[in-house]
Structure 1
Amino acid sequence: MQLHPLPGLFISHGSPMLALNPEQVGPALARLSLNLPRPQAIIVMSAHWESDALEISHAIRPETWHDFRGFPAELYQIRYPAPGDPQLAERIIQTLAEANITAHANSTRPRDHGVWMPLLHMYPDADIPVVEISLPRHFSAQQLYQLGQCLAQFRQQQILIIGSGSITHNLAELTWDSESPTPTWAAQFSQTIVSALKNADYDKVLHWQSLPHIKRNHPSLEHLAPLFFSMGTGPRFSLVHSSFSMGALGMDIYRFD
């Protein structure tokens, strides 16, 4: 039986506390994985690996990195021991080279929570190889989109491609009150993105400078940037999940086929 290609995904990975308190998004991620064919491997671009050059994780068994401070001790005991895949990393580097995109192997990079947080809910057995790719600081939205286009061919090989960030990410305006309402500026931003993608208006998203309340939702761009990458992996958009955590932290999940 021939399997359909796996999609590209954009996942809002949220607070590290989602590992202990999954809220709405943890079950949504679990359901999503159950509805997909089992991947042969997973490629993830995380907002938490910014780099000067494009790098590809080449480690055989990357360490689980708790790249945050001030959380409960229980959180620091969590491990996500999925293997790496150096052979896949080499194939990615070669594919990019054929598109005149230079990428470098990195065999020492640990696995940040932008990778293991969503995968903990999707594939808790940690038995699928995972390769992380970095987010180059100097790449424009269009270059990240083109990077996604270049790697989209791996979807045909039963490899799941994920951009891991957050649809809104202003940590200064979050609240620990679970009953706190979603502010209008955050809700409007998420709704604008979804509307543009539903209408196949990718240009509106790629020209992010004109999005409503952009600076308030993203004082820095690294958590929105993985969306541009994910958009390149497929022309057909569908909304998997939309909710807010801690008031203004958008937890949207998008699928691209």
Structure 2
Amino acid sequence: MDAPIRLPSLFLSHGSPMLAVEDSPAGRFLDRLGGQLPWPKAIVVISAHFMTDRPMAGGHLQPHTVHDFGGFPEPLYQLRYPAPGSPDLAATVVQRLVDAGLPARVRENHGLDHGVWVPLRRMYPDADIPVVPLSVMPHGTAAQHYAVGQSLAALRDEGVLVIGSGGFVHNLGELDWQHRDGPFESWAQDFSDWMHVKLAAHDWPALLDWQQRAPHAHRAHPTVEHLMPLFVALGAAGESPGVRTLHRSHEFGTLALDAFAFD
């Protein structure tokens, strides 16, 4: 049997839950993305909406679809993403985290929140690839999340796709819900541009200190959970990864939907 092809790790911005069904630049990008990658045997998704005080991996054999949002059209709540889970992979993930000195554990009955199923529904609509969700730590640092990713890097050689699902700029209080296609606010553009420059330059020290160095850092991310998946994906790519910008777009004036591959 041929050895699995090494997969990149990805950071994807999952945007509004409407990304699951609406026609948009980000949605069309995700529709194409799955077919552009080597086919994974399983997927680990680090989701901004799975928040714990220490790393946890969902170990359910058949995880349920979680509709962890409110105020959206009723058909959105009828959607299901019935991908199988993988308790064995969840146990492997946790063991590698523990071996790296991280106090991880399995959460047996955890479902798939919209940070997981919204992008996967566009990328892999048949829901036939096993999925393991992995948590972020909302009080953790970028360096701690980078270390989580480092402990998972070898999974990429085993046919496992590691995806960080969050948001590149994410401030719900400043969204202009009346104008989905409105212009990008200047402060959000400044933050986004700084992040792109540092990623392209492989300036990991600056990125890991983004809260102190990036312009408008607190305004771009009043809470950090939507950016932390980027650092897990970056750590999972190994010591000196290439950085590819896969997609850039925005919605509602401030919501950046950028996506990256690290390999």
The equivalent of 1:157 in structure 2 is 158
| Structure 1 stretch displaced more, 84-93 or 1-10 | 1-10
SS across alignment from 1:232: helix
Q: How does 1:142-153 map to 2 (within 5 A)?
A: 142-153=143-154
The equivalent of 1:251 in structure 2 is 257
| Structure 1 stretch displaced more, 21-30 or 160-169 | 21-30
Report the CA distance between 1:120 and its aligned residue. Answer: 0.6
The equivalent of 2:228 in structure 1 is 225
The equivalent of 2:192 in structure 1 is 190
Structure 1 counterpart of 2:190, one-letter code: Q
The equivalent of 1:46 in structure 2 is 47
The equivalent of 1:199 in structure 2 is 201
Structure 2 CA distance for aligned equivalents of residues 13 and 173 of structure 1:
17
Report the CA distance between 1:111 and its aligned residue. Answer: 1.0
Report the CA distance between 1:97 and its aligned residue. Answer: 2.0
Cα pair 2:4 2:158 within 8 Å, conserved: no
Q: How does 1:7-156 map to 2 (within 5 A)?
A: 7-156=8-157
Report the CA distance between 1:178 and its aligned residue. Answer: 3.0
Structure 1 CA distance for aligned equivalents of residues 152 and 175 of structure 2:
34
Structure 2 counterpart of 1:149, one-letter code: Q
Report the CA distance between 1:114 and its aligned residue. Answer: 0.3
**CA RMSD of the aligned region, Å?**
1.2
| Structure 1: gaps (5+ residues) | none
Structure 1 counterpart of 2:21, one-letter code: L
Report the CA distance between 1:212 and its aligned residue. Answer: 0.5
| Structure 1 stretch displaced more, 167-176 or 119-128 | 167-176
Structure 2 CA distance for aligned equivalents of residues 100 and 174 of structure 1:
39
Cα pair 2:181 2:251 within 8 Å, conserved: no
SS across alignment from 1:194: helix
| Structure 1 stretch displaced more, 6-15 or 220-229 | 220-229
Structure 2 counterpart of 1:226, one-letter code: P
Structure 2 CA distance for aligned equivalents of residues 232 and 138 of structure 1:
18
- Give aligned-pair identity as a percent: 46
Structure 1 counterpart of 2:45, one-letter code: V
The equivalent of 2:179 in structure 1 is 177
Structure 2 counterpart of 1:202, one-letter code: W
Structure 1 counterpart of 2:26, one-letter code: V
| Structure 1 stretch displaced more, 115-124 or 93-102 | 93-102
Structure 2 CA distance for aligned equivalents of residues 241 and 193 of structure 1:
14
Structure 2 CA distance for aligned equivalents of residues 29 and 70 of structure 1:
24
Report the CA distance between 1:99 and its aligned residue. Answer: 1.5
| Structure 2: gaps (5+ residues) | none
**TM-score when scaled to structure 1?**
0.97
Structure 2 CA distance for aligned equivalents of residues 155 and 193 of structure 1:
24
SS across alignment from 2:44: strand
Report the CA distance between 1:169 and its aligned residue. Answer: 0.6
The equivalent of 1:213 in structure 2 is 216
Report the CA distance between 1:2 and its aligned residue. Answer: 5.0
Q: Return closer, same or farther for 1:181/1:116 CA change in 2, 3 Å cut-off.
A: same
Structure 2 CA distance for aligned equivalents of residues 9 and 178 of structure 1:
25
After superposition, give the CA deviation of every residue in 1:47-98 in whole Å (9 maximum; x if it has no partner): 0011122211010111101000111011001000000000111111121222
After superposition, give the CA deviation of every residue in 1:159-188 in whole Å (9 maximum; x if it has no partner): 100111000011111113134111111111
Report the CA distance between 1:256 and its aligned residue. Answer: 0.4
